[in-house]
Each structure stands twice: as C-alpha cells, then as structure tokens.
Amino acid sequence: MYKSKNRTVMQTNYLLPNKYKAFGWVLLVIGLIGGILMYSQLIDGELLNMKVFSIYNGESIFGNDQGFFKVIENGVLDEIVALFIMIGGLMVGFSREKVEDEFIYKLRKDSLVWAIIFNYFILILAVLFIYSFAFFDVLVFNMFTPLLFFIVRFNFLKHKSDSHEE
Amino acid sequence: MKNNIKIERARFDLTQAELAEKIGVSRQTINAMEKNKYVPSTLLALKIARLFKKAVEDIFLLEDHE
C-alpha cells in the first residue's frame, strides 16, 4: 500500500488500468455470444478458413501423426471466440476498479479462491457423473469456467457491499 | 472487532460516499466496515481516526471474546 494524493490505494503489479475494463467486457460478451451460437450450431466454428502456423497438429499429443511446425489449413472462428473470452475475461477480472483499495483487493482475492474451489468441485462431479464424448464438452467449458466463476463472484460481492446506506 | 464509524460519521455529518472520498477508499469499504464485515488495515484505521480527531482505540474496539 502506498499513499498518493490521500488515496489509500493498493499497489499491485498485475492489475491493468481501469480503462481496460470496459473494452474487456465488450470482448467477453462478443466471445460468449459467439461461443453460444457455435455450441447451438447456429454458426460453424470452422468458418474463416485460412492458413495458420501450428507447432503441433494431430489426433493426440502423444501420437506421431501430422507432426511439428507446419503451416496447415484451419477455420479460425472457434479460436477467435476462445481468445475473445479469455482475453476479455482477463481484462474484466484484472483491471483496476475506479477506486482500487484494500477491501476491493480482498474481494478480488477471495473471489479467485472461491472460483478455483467451486470450479474443481463442479469438475469432480463431472468426472464422476459425465461419460463418453460429453466429457469433452466439460473440458471445453472448463477452459473458461474458472475465469467466469471468478468474474461473477467478484461482481456479486462488489454489488452486495454496495447496498445503499440506511 | 466493532467500531464507531457510523456514529462518528453522523457527528461530522458525512455520508458514506463523502467519508470514502476524504479517506481515499471506495464507498463499499466504508459500508463493509460499518456493517462489521471488514476489518481495516492499520493504515486505514489510523487515517479514519485522524479524520475524526480521535484515538484509534476510541473508534475501533475489541469485543469481549477477542
């Protein structure tokens, strides 16, 4: 913590400036809408076919099929959607609040811990009760759920402590 | 730990937002402290006491079981 202009602000080296938050929300919402449309088969995730550089391309990481460091053809819409959700989500979750102080910092940390525990709790249930290819969907969702649970929990706690004074 | 922030705030006729602004924290922080849901850092406690011109232990009090 340091003092500047009488602000009791937290000195954190991993938070982005507040102005990135709005842009993060735009990316995140576009990504989520794109993701829902792709999952409901309304749009095809393999659109926007183009040549991309792949470090590895194959059926499994330990197979020895298509090989390393090649330029391949791939529809990149699904990759773009995933990047929008992840980058947008990181910007939303890790940009400063307008007033970033010690209580907000605590809410953010608590929300992160909560999100990780909650995510693994859900994942344990999924391992136990979801089988076959449906589990692949679970893994896909799990790329995003820790970040999304964190954002939801953080904003929920923030608004809960924002209730108007009596 | 309990505190007299709400009483002191009334004495100085400040809203939560005005107190937050004076101390340089968010309104949520003032709200959470008044509801005893957040124990402030020593730095923040000292700033609040200085603003209200009182000793820290006149504003922040241990409860019997603490």
Query: Cβ contact (<8 Å) for A163 and B43?
Result: no
Query: Cβ contact (<8 Å) for A5 and B37?
Result: no
Q: Is B30 helix (H, G, I), strand (E, B) or coil?
A: helix
**Which carries the bigger pLDDT value, residue A14 or residue A155?**
A155
Q: Is B62 helix (H, G, I), strand (E, B) or coil?
A: coil
B36 near A CB under 8 A: no
Q: What mean pLDDT comes out for the span A36-42?
A: 90
- Distance, in Å, from the CA atom of A96 to the CA atom of A156, rounded to the nearest integer, reads 16
How does pLDDT run across B5-42, given as a tens digit for each residue? 999 999 999 999 999 999 999 999 999 999 999 999 99
Question: Do B25 and A101 meet the contact criterion of CB atoms below 8 Å apart?
Answer: yes
Among the ranges given (A62-71, A124-133, A156-165, B16-25), the one the predictor scored with the smallest mean pLDDT: A62-71
Q: What mean pLDDT comes out for the span B56-64?
A: 93
Of A114, A137, A116, A138, give the one whose Cα is nearest residue A126: A138
Output A83-86 pairs: Cβ under 8 A, ≥24 positions apart.
Answer: A83/A31, A84/A27, A84/A28, A84/A30, A84/A31, A84/A34, A85/A27, A85/A28, A85/A31, A85/A32, A85/A35, A85/A144, A85/A147, A86/A31, A86/A143, A86/A144, A86/A147
DSSP B60: E
ipTM of the modeled complex:
0.90
Q: With 50 as the cut, is the pLDDT of residue A158 above it?
A: yes
Q: What mean pLDDT comes out for the span A38-45?
A: 86
How does pLDDT run across A55-69, given as a tens digit for each residue? 888 877 777 666 788
In chain A, where the domains are located: 17-95, 98-166
Is the domain spanning B2-55 CATH 3.40.50.720? The answer is no
Among the ranges given (A5-9, A94-98, A147-151), the one the predictor scored with the smallest mean pLDDT: A5-9
Q: What mean pLDDT comes out for the span A36-58?
A: 87
Q: What mean pLDDT comes out for the span A101-117?
A: 96
CA atoms in the 13 A half-sphere facing the CB of A49: 3
**Total CB pairs under 8 A between chain A and B:** 57
Q: With 70 as the cut, is the pLDDT of residue A9 above it?
A: no
Tell me the one-letter amino acid at B47. Answer: K
Tell me the one-letter amino acid at B13. Answer: D
Q: Is B42 helix (H, G, I), strand (E, B) or coil?
A: helix
Q: With 60 as the cut, is the pLDDT of residue A10 above it?
A: yes
Residue A3: band (very low, low, confident or very high) from pLDDT cuts 50, 70, 90: very low
Of B22, B31, B47, the CB nearest to A161: B31
Q: Where are the alpha helices (DSSP H) in B1-66?
A: 5-11, 16-23, 27-34, 42-52, 56-59
Of A1, A100, A165, the CB nearest to B16: A165
- Rounded to whole angstroms, what are the CA distances from A120 to A77, B45, B60, B65? 28, 37, 39, 36
Of B43, B42, B12, B38, give the one whose Cα is nearest residue B27: B38
What pLDDT score does A20 carry?
A: 96
DSSP A95: B
Residue A5: band (very low, low, confident or very high) from pLDDT cuts 50, 70, 90: low
Q: Of all residues in chain A, what percent carry a pLDDT higher than 70? A: 89
Q: Residue B24 has which token pair?
A: 């340089």
Q: Is A67 helix (H, G, I), strand (E, B) or coil?
A: coil
